[in-house]
Structure 1
Amino acid sequence: MTNAYRPGMNFWKHISDESRAAGSERLARIVKENLDELVGKFYDSFLAHEEGKAFLNHSVVTNRLHKSLRNWLIELVSVDPMGDMTEFDARQVKVGEVHARLKIPNHLVMEGMTLLKSEIAIKIAELDIDRRSIAEAIILLDELIDYAMRHMSAAFLSDTSRRIQTDEAFRLFSLGQDVHLERETQRAALMEWSQQVLFNLFSNDCGEVTKLANSPFGLWVRHRGAILFQGAPQLDAIQNLMHTIDDDVLSKVSDDRTAGVAALQVRIEEIKYHLNDLFNAASNVENGRDPLTRTLNRRFLASVLGREVGLAKRANQPLSVLMIDIDHFKTINDVHGHQAGDSVLSHVAEILLNTVRPSDFVFRYGGEEFLIVLVEATEEQAFVIGERIRARVEEKAATVVDRPAIPVTISVGVAAFEGHPDYQYLINAADNALYVAKNGGRNRVAAA
């Protein structure tokens, strides 16, 4: 963008070169001399806000974000608005996209920017210079911050709109899957849990009964079901019934077998009724799976992982990710041909889909890479699942038409959610762990 068409920078353009240089120098000196104080006040204000607390905590600010804001402020007062601002503009767009990814309300960011303006302006006003020079420096500051915020806000709105559309597409896609199979799978999971409770009761097994909320059915309700039937009153009814069973009915079963079993059966039947009602409302929509591997399309990763990170943060639950790469896949393609490569991809994907839980999400991440979101799984549990997948892939060679079976191995990177609200950090951690596994000789699992 040329100087003539750079919006909102009129004062920078029309002020004299001498005044512009003096104002820029004063801004840079004040910001650099007070960096830690400015950053501290910005995040103190953010964390004092009820909405802000939902996105950040003191640990995340101290360990990750403090340095980022310092760097942003230094760049802000170092950039030359009369020169090439292409890189500066691109970084503001990236910041806006990150805010959208974290779903941080834009008004919180704008409040923080207003605070920075005020704090820096106060320090400018304390300088031993004439009033005109003070006014010039403050106007230059305002134009700089407003210019940056316009780029951030435009990127925020654009990215948020795109993500809303993707979220809705994923929900509709989920509804368009094999509805009958999904319904029967969850009915079976519910009945398996209830039968296990009755078996324990009538066999006088005094062991602790797994709560319905912690069963495979409960996991499905909280994660996949919440996406498939977002906002559906029947889903709320099912969750309330699950709480009633776990908090009330199970104790009755132990105290009064006859009355407890009758109450349990009534609640289970109510859940089945609401479950049928939910699935009966499902309709066919566009496919959202990778046609070769039948894993989820990567375009839905932001919707799923962003939601799961938010849920893990709010509920203080574990969440882990596996990044998986097929070892020496290029060699397989070069030696055996691309058709054989496709067979290997399908073979590995089938093992992944058959090994994870119904509540987990398996994505085709890249050419020969897969990403698995393991809900409510600690790093240790994720490592065990990753090792189980690795072993199953190694044990079973891939079948290829008109060719001998091809031995396949995979490398797996494991990362656990540690509180950072940006899901990209979790992906990057898993990717780094995968790099460690591959550098360690491949055919192994490594944790971040």
Structure 2
Amino acid sequence: MPDSSILTNKSLQPIKVSIMPAANLAEEWESLRTSIPDDLRGRLAELVGAHTPDLAGLFYETLLRDAEAAPLLSHSLVSERLHGSLQRWLQELFPTGGLAEFDAVADRQRMIGAVHARVRVPMHLVMRGGRILKRRMLELLAKVCPSDSERLVAAAYVFGVFDIVMDLMGAAFVEDRQAEASNEEAFRHLAIGQDITLERETQRGALLEWSQTVLFAIATGAPETAIPSLSSSNFGLWAQHRAGLLFRESHDHRSILSLIRQVDREILPAIARARQADGTALPAEVAKLQALVQEIRFHLDEAFQSIISVESGRDPLTKTLNRRFLSPVLAREIGIAAQQGSTFSVLMIDLDHFKSINDRFGHPAGDTVLQQAAGILLDMTRQSDFVFRFGGEEFLIVLVETGAEEALRAAERIRERIAAAEIQLRNGQRIRITSSIGAAVFDGHPDFKRLVERADKALYQAKHGGRNRVVLLTG
């Protein structure tokens, strides 16, 4: 707990702080901007500017003594980069000209939170670091705030800034980790071989069975009790209790649930009323029912289609791995490398002048080129390696247990094999292609995005250096 003199004045009377509760973070940020005099805000900025090296030093010194945090920060490259980054971050939060606009601050903190999620820094460690900084800032306030009342206003301001940015970071962290968890679960489903296609056909059949039961009951004049609600049918129960896990409560899943409610609450009662009357309205109501069933079928197919390519784990055209699995694969390889002291490499491969192939021979020819190039990549890599369709005419290969020299040799073999291949198009015409390859070796940095960016930078150099070549990015 902070010293009580900070919370009260010398007469022990409560001091009022001008920061008011807000409906959202943007309003709270705006309230903070006007909560203290310009003079005090300027003194705080000078205080932070003068003590950022000490604050950053205390931050990392404390966390490096923590058994849980130390493994995440012990790498010299990370420590050197993060030490300077933390100082810049503090200066951004307490600039001499007053708080920045909320949108700019929010974007920056969300980006930081996403990086924490990718590096897999637990959020409680981030919060612990925030507490370290807040406690030290509280101690430093005495240097620029001679009076108790001024110290309280400054403390409320400092704590408010830290609390809002931690809120923003935390929200981005959770969102990013949820997406990553979804990818990891999909990859797990791939490993255990869940048959999504069979599930789709099963639910199509269940929906059709319910529809035929209802239509048969109407045609034979069966009592109302013979017409089950859609929500109580096998399909309805599956849609309510199992489909949400499969479809992650997607738009199509929500549409299916909404249509089920519409069938039960509007269409079936309307059919019952039409049957009890003279029956003239019955054909129109049955037509509405059939239309809604078709709409449910459409959303069901769309929902399954959206996950089949992911759950199959393969790009439909090239049979290489789906890019969605790149994050969990790289995160796992980084973990293995850190644990075993090993390394691995990433190759980014681009088929040269691919657009001209589409323009000259058409998109079917482009598809053939992609398929045959992917076949070469799969043939030239080991079973332990990972080949991904990265996008368009780009592929990414993760070479496990592979250092710089081996990665360079592997990339050259791939480049030579692609250049030597004669690709036969569907019209019988034969063409040759070349490729540019960028290579990067894992250097210990825990953020896999940085490794991919280094490989992409190497690819850029290869393409702008004349194409049909390999560039290994070092340093």
TM-score, normalising length: structure 2: 0.68
Shift >4 Å, 4+ stretches? 8-12, 14-17, 79-83
Instruction: Quote the residue 1:404 is aligned against.
Output: 429
Alignment match of 2:111 (pick from 91, 94, 103): 94
1:85-141 CA-to-partner distances (Å, cap 9, x unmatched) read 112101111111111111111111111111111111211123352221111111100
C-alpha deviation, 1:81, in angstroms? 8.2
CA contact (8 A) 2:145 2:151 kept: no
Residue aligning to 2:396: 371
1:62-211 alignment to 2 at 5 Å? 62-78=79-95, 84-127=101-144, 129-176=146-193
Q: C-alpha displacement at 1:165, in angstroms?
A: 1.6
SS in 2 for 1:51: coil
Q: Point out the more displaced range, 297-306 or 82-91.
A: 82-91
> Are the aligned partners of 1:23 and 1:136 in contact in 2 as well (CA < 8 Å)?
no
CA distance in 2, matches of 1:317, 1:83: 44
- Compared with structure 1, are the counterparts of its residues 142 and 8 closer, same or farther at alpha carbon in structure 2 (3 Å cutoff)? farther
Q: 1:13 aligns with which of 31, 38, 43?
A: 31
**SS state of the match for residue 370, structure 1?**
strand
Name the SS for the 1:325 alignment partner. Answer: strand
Structure 2 letter corresponding to 1:287? S
Task: Kindly provide the CA deviation profile for residues 155-177 of structure 1, in whole angstroms up to 9, marking residues without a partner as x.
Answer: 11121122112101012113339
1:30 to 15, 39, 47: 47
Q: Which moved more, 1:169-178 or 1:434-443?
A: 169-178
In terms of mean alpha carbon deviation, does 26-35 or 169-178 score higher? 169-178
- Among 413, 434, 441, the alignment partner of 2:459 is 434
CA contact 2:187–2:325 (8 Å) conserved in 1: yes
2:408 matched to which residue of 1? 383
Q: Distance in 2 between matches of 1:423 and 1:10?
A: 35
Greater mean deviation of Cα atoms: 32-41 or 53-62? 53-62
Please, which moves more after superposition, 73-82 or 121-130?
73-82
Tell me, yes or no, if the aligned pair for 1:93 and 1:152 is still in contact at 8 Å.
Answer: yes
1:394 matched to 2:419? The reply is: yes
Aligned partners of 2:34 and 2:113: how far apart in 1?
Answer: 32
CA distance in 1, matches of 2:416, 2:34: 71
Question: Rg larger in 1 or in 2?
Answer: 2
Matching residue's letter, 1:340: A
How many corresponding residue pairs? Answer: 340
Return 5+ residue gaps in structure 1 as ranges.
179-284
| TM-score (norm: length of structure 1) | 0.72
Could you tell me which amino acid in structure 2 is paired with residue 105 of structure 1?
P
Q: Name the aligned partner's letter for residue 7 of structure 1.
A: L
| Identity score, percent | 44
Between the aligned partners of 1:445 and 1:378, the Cα distance in structure 2 is: 15
1:303 maps to which of 319, 323, 328: 328
Q: How does 1:284-299 map to 2 (within 5 A)?
A: 286-299=311-324
Q: Do the aligned partners of 1:79 and 1:85 also contact (CA within 8 Å) in 2?
A: no
The question of whether the paired residues in 2 share the 8 Å contact of 1:289 and 1:295 is answered with yes
